[in-house]
Amino acid sequence: MTNKTTPYAIELRDISKRFGAVQANKDICLQVPAGTIHGIIGENGAGKSTLMSIIYGFYEADTGFIEVDGKRVDIRSSQDAINAGIGMVHQHFMLVENFTVLENVILGAEGGAILKGGIDTARVELQRLAQEYSLDIDVDAIVEELPVGLQQRVEILKALYRGARILILDEPTGVLTPQEADHLFRILKALKEQGVTVLLITHKLREIMASTDNISVMRQGQMVAHRETAHTDKEELAELMVGKKVRLTVDKDDAKPSGTFLSARNLSQFDSQGVKRLKNVSLELRAGEILGIAGVSGNGQSELLNVLAGIEPMSEGEIHIAGQVITAKAPKDAAEMRELKMAHVPEDRHKMGLVTGFEAYEAAVLGYHNSPVYNGKILMHRKVMIDECNERMAAWDVRPPNPHLKTANFSGGNQQKIVIAREVEQNPDILLIGQPTRGVDIGAIENIHEQIVKLRDSGKAILLVSVELDEIMALSDRILVMFDGAVVGELDAKDADERTLGLMMANAYNDEEVSA
Amino acid sequence: MSQAKVPAWVNIALIPFLNIMLAFLVSGLVILAIGENPIEAASYLIYGAFGYDEGVGYTLYYATNLIFTGLAVSVAFKGGLFNIGGEGQAYIGGLGVGLVCLALDKTMPFYVIAPLAIIGAGVFGAAWAYVPAYLQARRGSHIVITTIMFNFIASSLMVYLIVNWLKEDGRMAPNSRTFEENAWLPYLHEFLSPLGIDIGDSPLNFAFVIALICCVLVWALLWHTRWGYQLRTLGTNPTAAKYAGIDTSKVTIWAMLISGGLAGFVGLNEIMGVNHSLLLNFTAGYGFAGIAVSLMGRNHPVGIIMAAILFGALYQGGAELAFEIPTITPEIVVVIQGLVILFSGALEHMFKDRIEGFFIRRSVA
Amino acid sequence: MFETLILMLDATMRVSTPLIFAALAGLYSERAGIVDIGLEGKILGSAFAAAAAASVFDSAWIGLCFGITASVALAMIHGFACITHRGDHIVSGVAINTIVAGLTVTLSMYWFGMGGQTPTLSGDARFLSITLPFADALADVPVLGLIYSELLSGHNILVYLAFAMVPMTYWVIYKTRFGLRLRAVGENPHAVDTAGISVAFIRYRALIICGILCGIAGAYLSTAHNAGFLKDMSAGKGYMALAALIFGKWRPVPVLLACLLFGFLDAVAVRMQGVVIPGIGEVPVQAIEVLPYVLTVLLLAGFIGKAIGPKAVGRPYVKERA
Amino acid sequence: ADPAVVYDQAGKFDKSFNEGVYNGVKKYTTDSGVQVREFEPKNEAQVEQGLRRLAKRGYSPIVTVGFNMTSAVEKVAKDFPKINFTLIDGVIDLPNVQSVVFKEHEGSFLVGALAAMASKTDTVGFIGGMDIPLIRKFGCGYEQGVKYASSSATVLQNMTGSTGAAFNDPTKGSELAKSQFSKGADVVFAAAGGTGMGVYQAAKDEGKLAIGVDSNQNHIQPGTMLTSMVKRVDQAAYNTYKDAAAGTWKSGLVVLGLAQGGVDWALDDNNAGLITADMKAKIKDIRAKIISGDIKVHDYMSDNTCNY
Ligand SMILES: Nc1ncnc2c1ncn2[C@@H]1O[C@H](COP(=O)(O)OP(=O)(O)OP(=O)(O)O)[C@@H](O)[C@H]1O
Ligand SMILES: Nc1ncnc2c1ncn2[C@@H]1O[C@H](COP(=O)(O)OP(=O)(O)OP(=O)(O)O)[C@@H](O)[C@H]1O
Ligand SMILES: [Mg+2]
Ligand SMILES: [Mg+2]
């Protein structure tokens, strides 16, 4: 960099960060010219948020350093970052919900020991900012009473109030309606015109293409490509993001779907804040068929699984299964759903699928602990459980094959095998399966995929939720794409390719078709 | 990266041992600070607790109460609930025992009274735990606060009942009348001396046997029944419990009922075993001591028995110590108890993280 | 009748004072996200330290300093466990209460050899009541005179301080930078952290204030309201303060009212022993004593409104999942 | 054998009842040079345990303090017939137990009369500890004395509580005293153990008079302690040891009243200024009349009523 003309607004040099065994960031280099909007894309878990948190001083990098305006800065805390003119809008908002907008904005920048002065200054300053960037907001409103879009505006105001010249936004549109998102991009543009540098993380290619100047792509903790927005397209980006992973070919014949085991109609669900997380989803699970649900995570897939499995009650809609109708008024819990021959491999094995403090043989009956097979009149049949666990460990090649090992002490892949074996071996009619190969190595992936196909071929109905496009395409017979809680498209697996799916997942497919 | 490489004995033996040693060390410093010799104090303490027959009897008698309350805390704890209400539940459990004995001792034989008294202790103790449990399960009221409040309510209730209704006429102290002997739990020295085992004239009574039986039952319940399975699932991973279709509020309520019932059994030992009348304040802090016992015993019946005997020895040895060195009050035992709670409970990460780190580094290297 | 009421309220002020200090102490701590059932232990520890020092140095003020020091030290142990080592707040509180219950008796036995008491304090070793100007002169003025001379005048300085602490706390919590950060850290420590403020430092400071206030509460018990330390003299006041804190929904003025209510019930109960009320008979004192606890349970159960505490209270703040 | 003493749970420094016994023990040690083994139990179980331990080691006689110990002493005395016990304030009928009880009503009568004479408002107060017959006995004797000296006087009576804690709650004591003062009382008699400390403090703070109990408590707040109703538990303890050493200790019931010097009122430098010659003379007269039987003081515990 001897002949650089203007220094970069921010430059990262060889940043690495490791969480325990996870290498979240590895040797990351990044240069962002001042006054540009720089997009960063990458799959879930690629390390984007970690990188931004390092820039913002929330985490400290293990190695590497950061330059701002050509000067090396030592960022050890958020305070350092703020002093260096960096502001961040986090993926999960960092707001004190029962504070007013004003209080949230001045928190940490109160301008004196007594609040009054700071509040008055902030009121005036916020008015100015609001006018300048059309960031209108009622500064005396309580934050938790504001819609998400406005809460995000508070985050932006927070950064600007502190005089941020570099603004990081981590998936800012994940929670926004299209209109709100449009408004946000107009604001970003206005900021850019004032010379603010913006780092924008998003999964939505349409947004990236529409609003950025440059784009960097991350994969598995590394920076894999940099592009100028003008010289790239969605297809290329999608490919860069997904990477040239080993193509997993699963040997399978065409599906021969027969009867319907489950049909769901207009399922909706509101979360505790009253936000609609699942929007009128209808689907059918047919014997001998794998139905894949594709989508960027956080678009309602988890809610769908939970509602189908009976873990969370639905708010609206109905499920028909085994001659029974389940509605919001007549719900069934997870145990009752299992009795209807439905099995469920949850997305998150640590949080849900396993009790990591249990020995393997105990975890291997979770959810089926009431089964007469394992229970005597009073005591549980430990021996039966252990024997069965031994058998399954052999059959599924769980290593080490030790039923008494604490579940926590198995590797991710082997934990997953324990869970899948438990659910599959119950011989269910329906198997709900979420992220079956998340964090599982290639050998195990193959094994798991084979089992899923085998299950289909024996006439089971399978619902597969995965954020891995490869996996969806390799396994599914039919694919639904979810976006923002709703099903936005349905494809026959034969018609699916990465490009189409990638676009649908980013909800950019229809724009594309219209423009094409 | 993981616990995988930390040997099991580190967690179940080394860390608790270090915690208790640190607690003893600090207690030793306190004794040193008040100008006494900790070694000498320790020798009186050990002699008092184990050095002679009667001392052993007393040690086990105190341990009986602590086993009950320790089990009570741990059953709730296994379900992720922190029951600070052992004191109140024990108190009310004693009321149950007392009422049974007072009602029946004149008319019924021992073998009728005893099972009814056991039921009385359990049911009353459980009933006292029920309200906080219900409020936690269905209304989300914080069980720690409600159980604390219920301790106070229990103590006022007992004063009211004993002073106004149960006190024997013409007696000064607020005690009920003394039960007839057929409502007394037999002393163990009556059984043991014919066998040639001498525990002196100690108050150790049949309740100790009941406590041991409870340990076995709790062990079986927690690790060998379906209900125990559900409880442990709930306690370690509530999300997994929901996933498994476990009715969490039902399990919560039952866990507290059992916990309260176990605490209530303190009444058997104290009321039916030793005092033979219903009196005030017989719980004497055993409910709180149960927290230390259960923390130290790692919430396992075997650990609880050992911890209870250790604390029983401290109580008994502490009394001996205070007898021999009057400047040291038996309250030194309370200090040790508190330090155990501090080091093996609140400061568990202080050692744990470092020691595990050490073993991990060693195994990585 | 009116006079009886005034006298009852007069007693209420005296009895409520330690509750007010302790409840405000809890308010600082819990508003910062630290559950503190160790209020009881801090009060007791301070009561002992204050009485011991006051009797040795023959000065109530020195006693107060020692009481505060002891209480702050206990608060720092709590902080060390809960903030630095992410320990369970409740376990730590129980531990502190237990340690103090034993240690005060042990130390006083050693120092004073009086079975867990300290010598009786008199003169300068105690906070004596202050007669407000003209109190005696105005005593005969009807109604107002009585209120002024009996109810308002004639308390010791700590009583007035307790009442002054309420607006003071209100001001600190709602009107200062520290208060803003304190409240924020109890609601969402992540927000505070990303705003460039140290979560641990704020929480430690909150605990120091908590320690100071509990220290005053304890010193009041042993050197103002009473004249010496007695074993277990806090007698559940810390828990009662916690109840008042919940009852007042973690806000200064309602907390004050809750303390006054509890104090009033206490004052009534003191005078109810064996009193026969015509038509009703003897009202058991226990029924009155127990009211604060019952009310708190009802409140927690949502039967008389909802008690929602600071959102992050009781949860250790962990930045990294690793 | 070596002598011993077991205090009750209030401990030997309760400034009142136990401390009285302690004073007797101290005096005996000073006079005879014999050390007395002391034990202060901390809970119910330790009372019996401590007694047993002492008995086993052969201590005799063992002085035990307070009615609370009655059942423990009874059990242990049965098991150790060779050891002698003296129980103060309780009655046990065993060949190796001496039971010492006092005529507290007589002493209370005296201080009641003094209170009435010292009162300017003709209103006096009584604050009892735990609400038990024994304490009512104090109250009833006191009331009779007050009425004897001034038939028009008002006696305000309060009990502190209904549990043992009522003997150790100075805060409540001071609150009760303040409430009695505000109702016009200017002399208050506290028969309430440690609770009394709060009463005396309140009297001092408000410039009223208080009457102590059990030991001579006049020194606690000199100048505002009118007198103390002393109950010579020290003597009971002292005599036990002395008699035992001399071989004259006898089991059975010992009742100590005014005549035996078991109860009395206290006059020393601390309260000399408060007692006028006239009062002194009157009290002397009353005292003589009680001893001679001319004044019959009703004992509450004889029929559990205070009808005199
Ligand atoms: N505090 C933490 N402790 C341990 N591991 C972490 C932590 N934060 C992130 N990780 C891990 O680091 C990796 C990168 O995570 P990061 O959140 O940066 O991904 P991301 O690209 O932002 O993903 P997403 O698109 O889902 O937001 C993941 O494997 C994640 O599990
Ligand atoms: N949550 C956990 N708690 C404790 N130890 C764990 C945990 N998860 C994994 N481990 C341990 O960490 C090691 C590495 O785990 P990881 O999931 O990365 O294994 P892996 O090499 O990817 O194995 P696999 O090939 O089966 O996926 C495992 O051997 C396991 O013992
Ligand atoms: Mg992210
Ligand atoms: Mg892996």
Question: From CA C218, how far away is CA C221, in angstroms rounded?
Answer: 5
Q: Is C157:C126 a contact under the CB 8 Å cutoff? A: no
Query: Residue D177 in contact with residue D127, Cβ under 8 Å?
Result: yes
Q: Is the pLDDT of residue B272 over 90?
A: yes
Whether C114 contacts chain D with CB within 8 A: yes
Domain-located, residue A408 = yes
3-state secondary structure of C257: helix
How far apart, in whole angstroms, are the C-alpha atoms of residue A82 and residue A106? Answer: 13
Residue among A399, A409, A415, A418 to mutate when testing ligand 2 (max atoms within 8 A of CB):
A409
Domain count of the fold of chain A? 2
Angle formed at CA A221 by CA A218 and CA A226, multiple of 5 degrees: 25
The reported pLDDT for the residue numbered C288 is: 87
Q: Which ligand is nearest to the CA of A204?
A: 1
pLDDT beyond 80 at A22: no
Residue A323 sits in the same domain as residue A403: yes
How close B35 comes to chain A (CA, Å)?
Answer: 46
B163 and D CB contact within 8 Å: yes
C28: pLDDT strictly greater than 50: yes
Domain span at B108: 65-284
Core vs surface per residue A389-411: b (16+ CB within 10 A) or e = bbebbeebebeebbbebbbbbbb
pLDDT of residue A516: 39
In a domain, C271, yes or no: no
Structure-block tokens of residue C47: 């009561």
CB contact under 8 A, C271 and D13: no
Nearest to A366 by CA among B305, A265, A161, A357: A357
Domain annotation covers residue A193: yes
Rounded Cα distance, C187 and A95, in Å: 9
Q: Name chain C contacts of D42, Cβ cutoff 8 Å.
A: none
| pLDDT tens digit sequence for B285-300 | 999 999 999 998 989 9
Higher pLDDT, A248 or B284: B284
Q: Using DSSP, state whether C34 is helix, strand or coil.
A: coil
In a domain, B88, yes or no: yes
A71 falls within a domain:
yes
If you measure from the C-alpha of residue A300 to the centroid of ligand 4, how many angstroms do you get, rounded to a whole number? 26
The Å distance, Cα A4 to ligand 3 centre, comes to 32
Residue A454's alpha-carbon distances to A426, A434, A450, A464, in angstroms, are 14, 17, 6, 14
Examine the pLDDT at A3 and tell me if it is beyond 50: no
**Claim to verify: residue A368 and residue A419 sit in the same structural domain:** yes
Query: What is the average pLDDT across A19-28?
Result: 82
| A85 and A37 Cβ atoms separated by less than 8 Å | no
User: Is any atom of ligand 2 closer than 6 Å to the C-beta of A409?
Assistant: yes
A21 lines ligand 2 (CB under 6 A): yes
CB contact under 8 A, B247 and A333: yes
pLDDT by residue (tens digit) across B228-244? 999 999 999 999 999 99
CB within 8 Å: C300 and B135 = yes
Share of chain C above pLDDT 90, in %: 62
Residues of chain A that touch chain B, judged by Cβ-Cβ distance less than 8 Å = 20-21, 309-311, 333-338, 344, 346, 351-358, 362, 365-367, 369-370, 374-375, 378-380, 382, 406, 408-409
Strand-strand pairing, A316-321 and A260-270: antiparallel
CB atoms within 10 A of CB A115: 21
Q: Which of B323, B328, B331 to mutate to test the interface with D (most CBs of D within 10 A)?
A: B323
Question: What is the gyration radius of the CA atoms in chain C, in angstroms?
Answer: 20
Residue C295 inside a domain? The answer is no
**pLDDT at C26 (0 to 100):** 97
Record: contact C225-D205, CB cut-off 8 A: no
Contact A484, A313 (CB under 8 A): no
**Whether the predicted pLDDT of D166 surpasses 50:** yes
Per-residue pLDDT at A1: 43
pLDDT above 50 (res C269): yes
Confidence of residue C117 (pLDDT cuts 50, 70, 90): confident
CATH number of the domain residue A436 falls in:
3.40.50.300
Contact B218, B211 (CB under 8 A): no
Q: Which residue has the higher pLDDT, C117 or A479?
A: A479
Task: Give the 3-state secondary structure of residue D55.
Answer: helix
- Dump pLDDT digits (tens) for C171-217: 999 999 999 999 999 999 999 999 999 999 999 999 999 999 999 99
Under a CB-based contact definition with an 8 Å cutoff, are residues B362 and B57 in contact? no
Alpha carbon nearest to ligand 1 atom 18, residue: A47
A304 plus A438 within the same structural domain:
yes
A/B Cβ contact: 3+ pairs below 8 Å: yes
Instruction: In whole angstroms, give the CA distance from residue A260 to residue A280.
Output: 20
Q: What is the pLDDT of residues A245-269, one digit of tens each?
A: 444 467 788 878 888 999 999 999 9
pLDDT at B14: 87
Torsion sign across C-alpha atoms A203, A204, A208, A209: positive
Q: Which tokens belong to B290?
A: 């149960």
For residue B36, give the amino acid letter: E
Q: Compute CA distances D56 → A74, A76, B315, D38, D94, whole Å.
A: 76, 71, 20, 15, 18
Residues A394 and A499 in one domain: yes
State the Cα–Cα distance between residues A172 and B204, nearest whole angstrom: 69
**Number of CB pairs < 8 Å for A and C?**
82
Report the run of H or E that residue A161 belongs to, with start and end.
helix A148-161
| Rounded-to-integer distance, Cα C221 and Cα C67, Å | 11
Predicted confidence (pLDDT) at residue B2 exceeds the cutoff of 50: no
Report how far ligand 4's centroid is from the alpha carbon of A441 (Å).
Answer: 5
Q: Could you report the per-residue pLDDT of A268-284, keeping only the tens digit for each?
A: 999 876 778 899 999 99
Mean pLDDT, chain A, integer: 87
The atom of ligand 2 lying closest to the CA of B4 is: 31
Vertex B118, ends B115 and B124: CA angle to 5°? 135
Q: Between B3, B230, B245, which is nearest A338 by CB?
A: B245
Q: Is residue C257 part of a domain?
A: no
Tens of pLDDT, residue by residue over A381-432, are 999 999 999 999 998 888 889 999 989 888 777 888 899 999 989 889 999 9
User: Do A111 and A117 meet the contact criterion of CB atoms below 8 Å apart?
Assistant: yes
Other Cβ atoms closer than 10 A to C49: 29
Under DSSP, is residue A252 helix (H, G, I), strand (E, B) or coil? Answer: coil
Does A479 have pLDDT greater than 60?
A: yes
* Structural domain includes residue A248: no
Averaged pLDDT, A286-292: 94
Each residue's pLDDT tens digit, D174-229: 989 998 998 899 999 999 988 998 999 999 988 999 999 998 999 989 999 999 99
pLDDT in tens, B172-195: 778 899 999 999 999 999 888 888
Inter-chain contacts counted by CB atoms under 8 A, chains B and D: 54
Same domain (yes/no): A47, A191: yes
Query: Model-level pTM?
Result: 0.89
Provide the domain limits for residue C177.
2-235
Number of structural domains, chain C?
1
Q: A178 falls in which pLDDT band (50, 70, 90)? A: low
In this structure, which residue's CA is closest to atom 7 in ligand 1? C321
- Which residues does ligand 1 sit against, CB inside 6 Å? A 19, 22, 24, 42, 44-50, 91; C 320-322
Q: Which is higher by pLDDT, D13 or A442? A: D13
What's the pLDDT at C203? 97
- Residue B52 included in any domain: no
Q: Is residue C294 part of a domain?
A: no
Verify whether the Cβ–Cβ distance C196 to A108 is below 8 Å: yes
Q: Supply φ then ψ for residue B174, to 5 degrees.
A: -75, 75
Q: C-alpha angle A186/A189/A193, rounded to 5°?
A: 140
**Average pLDDT estimate for C162-178:** 96
Average pLDDT, chain C: 91
Cα(A444) to centroid(ligand 4), Å: 9
Any bridge partners for residue D100, and if so which?
D88, D254
- According to DSSP, the β-strands at A63-68 and A10-19 are antiparallel
**A227 and A340 assigned to the same domain:** no
In chain A, % of residues over pLDDT 90: 52
User: Rg for chain B (alpha carbons), in Å?
Assistant: 21
C82 assigned to some structural domain: yes
Per-residue model confidence (pLDDT) at position A100: 94
pLDDT digits (tens, 9 = 90+) for A61-115: 999 999 999 899 999 889 999 999 999 998 778 999 999 999 999 999 998 899 9
Q: What is the mean pLDDT of chain D?
A: 92
Q: Closest Cα partner for C9 from A202, D179, A378?
A: D179
Q: Is B178 on the interface with D (CB under 8 A)?
A: yes
- Alpha helices (H) along chain C: 2-31, 39-57, 60-79, 89-112, 135-138, 144-146, 157-175, 177-187, 189-194, 199-219, 237-247, 252-272, 285-289, 291-300
Q: What is the pLDDT of residue A20?
A: 67
What is the extent of the structural domain holding A53? Answer: 10-242
Given A197, A214, A242, the domain boundary residue is A242
The residues that bridge with A22 in the sheet, in sequence order, are A19
According to the model, what pLDDT value does residue A200 have?
94
A212 and A268 both lie in a single domain: no
* Interface mutation vs chain A, best among C31, C194, C306, C319, most A CBs within 10 Å: C194
Residue A513 clears pLDDT 70, i.e. is over it: no
Contact, C122 vs C51, CB < 8 A? no
Q: Which of residues 30 through 69 in chain B touch C, CB cutoff 8 A?
A: 30, 34-35
Please name the residue of chain D whose CA is at the shortest distance from the CA of residue B321: D39
pLDDT higher than threshold 90 for residue B7:
no
Output the pLDDT for position A273.
67
Whether D159 sits inside 8 A of C228 (CB atoms) is: no
Q: Which ligand is nearest to the CA of A41?
A: 1
**Average pLDDT for residues C72-101, to the nearest whole number?**
95
Instruction: Chain A: list its partners (3+ Cβ pairs within 8 Å).
Output: B, C
Q: Kindly list the residues from chain D whose CB atom is less than 8 angstroms away from the CB atom of residue B282.
A: 44
Please count the structural domains in chain B.
Answer: 1
d(CA A78, CA A98) in angstroms, rounded, equals 22
C80 within domain boundaries: yes
Residue B4 has pLDDT above 60, yes or no: no
Q: How far apart are CA B131 and CA A83, in angstroms?
A: 53
Quote the CA–CA distance of D171 and C237 in Å, as a whole number: 13
Residue C247 lies in a domain: no
CA distance C141 to C150: 12
Question: Is B243–A353 a contact, with Cβ atoms under 8 angstroms apart?
Answer: yes
- Amino acid (1-letter code) at residue B351: F
Q: Length of chain B, please?
A: 365
Encode pLDDT of B73-110 as tens digits: 999 999 999 999 999 999 999 999 999 999 999 999 99
ipTM of the complex: 0.87
In this structure, of A487-501, C60-74, C176-190, C225-239, the range with the lowest mean pLDDT score is A487-501
Task: With beta carbons under 8 A apart, name residues in chain B contacting D132.
Answer: 172-173
